[in-house]
Amino acid sequence: MSSRSHPISGWIYQLNLAALILIGIGFLLPLMITFTNSFMSEQEIALHHTTTLSLFDILEGVYQRFVPIRLIPREITFGQYRAVLIDQPSFLMLLVNSIRITAPVVLGNLVISLLTAYGFTCWRWKYKEILFFIYIVVMLMPLQAVLVPNFIIADQLGITQSYWAIIWPGIFAPFGTFLLRQSMKAIPEANYEAARIDGARDLYIFLFIVMPQMKAGIAALTMLVFIEYWNVVEQAVIFIRDYTREPLSVFLSRLSEGHIGLIFAASCVYMFFPFLWLIFGQEHLQKGIELSGVK
């Protein structure tokens, strides 16, 4: 029975592997097209990404027209990158705007999440689990459900036209507390007890026992928060109405409307920082999520 089952399991393994490879290619294809097309000339991009197909053509049954997608450029040029990085100084200004939003959120959320997670993990108080359950409920609420309350509070504080209307909710977002608390629970309780027996206080335990064992969780949270607020769109559209102060994520949506020749290079520059984070921090990201138990 076992000898007959091995060939079948081998075929199943190969089919699963082939399916995963095809799915992976499907996910990577848009990124590959964006990267390779960023080295095409304006004329070649206009030739391969412009179509006269309209709704009336579809209704008439004309299905032969399609947008030809070209993966390899006929002639490599850096004209798009020069147009984005040199000829349009506003692009770098908007890139700085994204950093001005993302950096305070990442640093602030990391500090608040570490301290709050330590309180939920190591301190013993009566309503701890009830309050943590409220954290989870708030974390599961969709963004659209909290935008109106955030706007009302920001209006009362007088920061509706400021980056702080985006930064403050990001700093106190509950996901970081949930992620780090799950990671701290993986630390053996004996470590805390031994430190307390030796007379260590909470500050010493936090800095010299908890923090050294939280490197993976901290790296995972840093990357996840960075990617989330680097791609912020809804909050920026609502709270920032001055085009010179909006982040790059909002600008790209308008850039694609009339400058198809620049959108590929601009998208590659925009993806550079998240891609760099994921390459150098992939191991920490995987380990941090594994320790937290988040699926």
3-13 tens-digit pLDDT: 455 566 778 88
Amino acid in position 9: S
Is residue 34 within 8 A of residue 263, CB to CB? The reply is no
Predicted confidence at residue 146, as pLDDT, reads 85
Look at 133-142, 199-208, 284-293 and tell me which has the smallest mean pLDDT: 284-293
User: What tokens does 50 get?
Assistant: 């412009």
Predicted confidence at residue 29, as pLDDT, reads 82
pLDDT at residue 190 is higher than 90: no
Look at 60-74, 90-104, 170-184, 218-232 and tell me which has the smallest mean pLDDT: 60-74
Q: What percent of the chain has pLDDT over 70?
A: 81
Report how far residue 227's alpha carbon sits from residue 218's, in angstroms, rounded to the nearest whole number.
14
pTM score, two decimals? 0.78
Predicted confidence at residue 259, as pLDDT, reads 64
pLDDT at residue 121 is higher than 80: yes
Look at 43-52, 76-85, 115-124, 205-214 and tell me which has the smallest mean pLDDT: 43-52
Average pLDDT over residues 109-132: 88
Q: How far is CA 79 from CA 72, 116, 159, 265, in A?
A: 16, 49, 40, 9
Average pLDDT over residues 236-251: 86
User: What tokens does 10 get?
Assistant: 């081998």
Report how far residue 95's alpha carbon sits from residue 89's, in angstroms, rounded to the nearest whole number.
10
Largest Cα–Cα distance of the chain, in whole Å?
83
Enumerate long-range contacts of 38-41, CB under 8 Å, 24 or more apart: 38/80, 38/81, 38/264, 38/265, 38/267, 38/268, 39/73, 39/76, 39/77, 39/78, 39/80, 40/70, 40/73, 40/74, 40/75, 40/77, 40/80, 40/264, 41/73, 41/75, 41/77, 41/79
Q: How far is CA 150 from CA 162, 172, 257, in A?
A: 13, 12, 30
Average pLDDT over residues 218-224: 88
pLDDT at residue 61 is higher than 70: no
Average pLDDT over residues 140-152: 86
Our measurement of the distance from residue 279's CA atom to the centroid of its chain's CA atoms, rounded to an integer in Å, reads: 14
Average pLDDT over residues 27-40: 83
Instruction: Go through the domains of the chain in sequence order and give each one's CATH number.
Output: 2-80 (no CATH), 82-292 (1.10.3720.10)
In terms of phi and psi (left: phi > 0; alpha: psi -120 to 50; beta: otherwise), the region of 293 is left
Residue 118's CB: how many other CB atoms inside 10 A? 20
Average pLDDT over residues 80-106: 87
Q: What percent of the chain has pLDDT over 90?
A: 12
Predicted confidence at residue 111, as pLDDT, reads 94
Predicted confidence at residue 2, as pLDDT, reads 47
Higher pLDDT, 135 or 71: 135
* DSSP annotation of 273: H
Report how far residue 128's alpha carbon sits from residue 119's, in angstroms, rounded to the nearest whole number.
9
Report how far residue 205's alpha carbon sits from residue 222's, in angstroms, rounded to the nearest whole number.
22
